[in-house]
Structure 1
Amino acid sequence: MRVLVVDDERTIRETLKEILEDEGFEVFTEELGSRVLERVRELSPDILILDLFLPGISGTEVLRKMNEEGLTDRVSVIIVSGHGTVETAVRAMKLGAFDFIEKPIKYEKFFNAIQSAVSRRKQEKTLNKDYSNLPLRQAKEKFERDYIVSLLKRFNGDLKKTASFMEIDISNLYRKLNKYGIDHEENGLD
């Protein structure tokens, strides 16, 4: 899998590159925010590690542009920032970020985010194959069910966070859980 690490601090870029290469990833680096979109299009990375404060344009602006172009559907974006707030993290997630990690980066949290992103990319590739052989209505229902289950796992079974991320109220989430027979307690999502 390909990873693009974008950070204006050389030591962070080099450290993350070394860690990821030791885990078998093909890693590329960039320091300028103004070059990120071009590099994403050129390299087609599976994962983008993106600092928020970059020379050129900010990581938030890069993420916004990626979201507008639909690139966040193809790349798992992990935001890293030393100046993050809850609001910044929520805004990033709504713009399509997969995860948000505060600096200084803790290895365990970083590696967990990478493993989750890898898992997501593999699941998406499998899911895309699964839907193409179904009629539209069945594909839509299967996708919605899989999407809800993946979000529940992402938010560790927290129904409020899942509903908030989906931008629906919790009663609608319960209705969808019932409709698709999803038992979040039985599946270890509680």
Structure 2
Amino acid sequence: MAKIEKKTKRYPSDLTDEEWSAVEPFLPKAGSTGSPRRTDLREVLNAIRYLVRSGCEWRMLPIHFPPWQTVYWWFRRLARRLMFRTIHEIALMIDRARSGRTVEPSAAVLDSQSVKAPAAQGTRGYDGAKKIVGRKRHIAVDTDGRLLMVNLTTADIADSAGAQIVLDALVKRWPRIKHLFADSAYDRRQLPPVIGLTSA
């Protein structure tokens, strides 16, 4: 990334050529009729990645990117197509291959975290164990920490119950996963039978 940043004088969040070549085939093609597309979709994705990494507002995107209204329009269109999930999974598999691992994980680590959410009226609960009023993130990562799946619930949902949605989706999307690492808060009896649980 340092070489790319020096060469292009841009941002560390920009797509590499390898990432772009993997993602480009999945993006919407320009129409054969009408006016030609003037927006560079690679720059749109670079802008969205910059926004996510930096935490800036839409209106504060640097001038090197397309106008924020254009980026936002494409963001909404790509989100409706579930394109960001596809891009994330492609990037994950590329990164696993770079690390010398198989592109699809065979093991996952499951955990949850309760966080305060004072403004989330009607969508928060009380976690008695952590003494937190808010929401709970149920997250599955591979053994190197790459995000595989996430589910958001109210904080009063038990770990095992909240994790069930994550596990159902995990088995469908990553069918090679046969081992799951989790702490004792997760009930082995509620896990899909194809997955073996190891207590962390």
TM class by shorter chain equals 0.3 to 0.5
Structure with more of its chain in strand, by fraction:
2
Structure with more of its chain in helix, by fraction:
1
Larger Rg, first or second structure (1 or 2): 2
TM-score with structure 1 length normalisation? 0.35
